[in-house]
């Protein structure tokens, strides 16, 4: 059951096409990561979905929305850098946004207290937002996105600006939210996506270059990989791996050569033999399957 359908979504800024036609749908109750390097168009996409920005062309359809209904009722949105009225207290801001979303004062207050508890800033509820720390603002931002119990919440880089501890807490929070609502969040940190999400959309240069569930992605990209780490970086070695007939592709990252091969047994034998013969300074050697990071690098290089 899909919650939202996006087709042919495009956006141009001053003639430059930033989003080049996106087609995807989000399943109800799923947690989807919008993954991509900086500048891929993640924020622009989320802004269009939230109604803050008009698409140049294309449509966004909510399955549950009646024709002409304001889709903002269905959405909670947390921008990358949430800003609040500094003179309000956290509780006041939540009640205010709840009322704007159509709740009665009493309901808004109850819901606000619930959410303050959930995101863990109950102690600071009467403090002015201007005095909040970055992490607290992020939590308040998540709370305000949830205030009207929307069907879809969109979070723009919710953990990128947090320290490891705060990051951990917000990720756990998202994990818990998965039960209540559909989550779409953008990130460039692969581990975060891998950790909480069921599905992944890879965005690169304004296009979706790869998508699917974690397992689908693994299956599709499953490839034997051998990592060789040498003491020094050497062109000779790199050329050897790159040009070898057993090699499908090579990722070179400093002294690390990640070689993708079909026949891992043969490749191991031949490569190791060669290394011994040439006496290349091998430091570490590892057989592994692909991580999300490898998939990421692969689709981005394409």
Partner 1 sequence: MIQWMTLLQKELLEMWRNFKWIWMPISFILIGVQKPITTYYMPQIIDSLGGLPEGAVLKIPTPTAREVIMQGLGEYTSLGALIIVLSTMGIIAAERKSGVAAMILVKPVSFTSFVTSKWAGGVLLMWLSFFIGCLTTWYYTGLLFDWVPFGEFLQAYFFYALWFTFILTVSVFFSSMLRTSGTAGFISLAVVIIVSIVSSTLSRWLEWSPAQLTSYANEILLDKGVSEYLLPAGLLAGVCIIILLALSVMIFRKKELAA
131 binds partner 1 (CB under 8 A): no
If the CB atoms of residues 33 and 94 are measured against partner 1, the closer one turns out to be 94
d(CA 188, CA 34): 8
34 binds partner 1 (CB under 8 A): no
CB of 33 to partner 1, least distance (A): 20
Residue 95 tokens, joined: 């009640």
Contact region with partner 1 (CB under 8 A), list: 33-41, 76-84, 183-191, 223-231: 76-84
Count of residues of this chain found to bind partner 1 when the rule CB under 8 A is applied: 29
CB of 101 to partner 1, least distance (A): 5
Cβ-contact 194, 218 below 8 angstroms = no
DSSP secondary-structure letter at 302? -
Kindly write out the interface string for residues 250-279 of this chain, putting x where it contacts partner 1 by CB under 8 A and - elsewhere: ------------------------------
CB of 194 to partner 1, least distance (A): 28
Q: Which long-range contacts (CB under 8 A, 24 or more apart) does 279-282 make?
A: 280/230, 280/234, 280/237, 281/230, 281/231, 281/232, 282/228, 282/229, 282/230, 282/231
Q: Which of 16, 70, 165, 279 is in the footprint of partner 1 by CB under 8 A?
A: 70
Residue with tokens 């080049």: 20
Kindly write out the interface string for residues 212-251 of this chain, putting x where it contacts partner 1 by CB under 8 A and - elsewhere: ----------------------------------------
d(CA 268, CA 65): 56
Q: Which of 31, 32, 35, 75 is in the footprint of partner 1 by CB under 8 A?
A: 75
How long is the chain? 302
Cβ-contact 71, 127 below 8 angstroms = no
Q: Which of 25, 100, 191, 248 is in the footprint of partner 1 by CB under 8 A?
A: 100
Residue 74 tokens, joined: 């269905």
Q: Which of 144, 182, 211, 247 is in the footprint of partner 1 by CB under 8 A?
A: 144
- Residue 90 burial (10 A CB sphere; 0-12, 13-18, 19+): buried
User: What is the three-class DSSP state of 233?
Assistant: coil
CB of 46 to partner 1, least distance (A): 9
> By the criterion CB under 8 A, which residues form the site for partner 1?
13, 43, 47, 50-54, 70, 72-73, 75-77, 79, 81-85, 87, 96-97, 99-102, 144, 148
């Amino acid at each position: 059951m899909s919650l939202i359908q996006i087709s042919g979504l495009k956006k141009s800024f001053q003639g430059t096409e930033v989003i080049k036609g996106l087609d995807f749908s989000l399943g109800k109750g799923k947690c989807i990561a919008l993954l991509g390097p900086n500048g891929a168009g993640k924020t622009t996409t989320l802004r269009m979905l939230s109604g803050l920005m008009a698409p140049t062309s294309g449509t966004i359809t909510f399955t549950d929305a009646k024709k002409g209904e304001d889709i903002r009722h269905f959405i909670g949105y947390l921008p990358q850098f949430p800003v609040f009225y500094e003179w309000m207290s956290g509780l006041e801001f939540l009640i205010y946004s709840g009322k704007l979303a159509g709740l009665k004062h009493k309901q808004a207050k109850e819901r606000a207290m619930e959410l303050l508890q959930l995101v863990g800033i109950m102690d600071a509820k009467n403090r002015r937002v201007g005095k909040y720390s970055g992490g607290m603002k992020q939590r308040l931002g998540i709370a305000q996105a949830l205030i009207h119990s929307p069907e879809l919440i969109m979070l723009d880089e919710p953990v990128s600006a947090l320290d490891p501890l705060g990051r951990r807490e917000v990720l756990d929070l998202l994990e818990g939210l998965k039960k209540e609502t559909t989550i779409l969040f953008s990130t460039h940190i692969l581990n975060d996506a891998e950790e909480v999400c069921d599905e992944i959309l890879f965005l690169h240069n304004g296009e979706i270059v790869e998508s699917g569930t974690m397992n689908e992605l693994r299956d599709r990209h499953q490839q034997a990989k051998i990592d060789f780490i040498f003491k020094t970086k050497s062109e000779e070695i790199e050329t050897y791996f790159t040009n070898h007939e057993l090699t499908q592709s090579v990722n070179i990252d400093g002294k690390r050569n990640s070689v993708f091969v079909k026949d891992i047994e043969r490749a191991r034998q031949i490569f190791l033999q060669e290394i011994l013969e040439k006496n290349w300074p091998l430091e570490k050697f590892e057989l592994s399957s692909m991580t999300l990071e490898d998939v990421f690098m692969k689709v981005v290089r394409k």
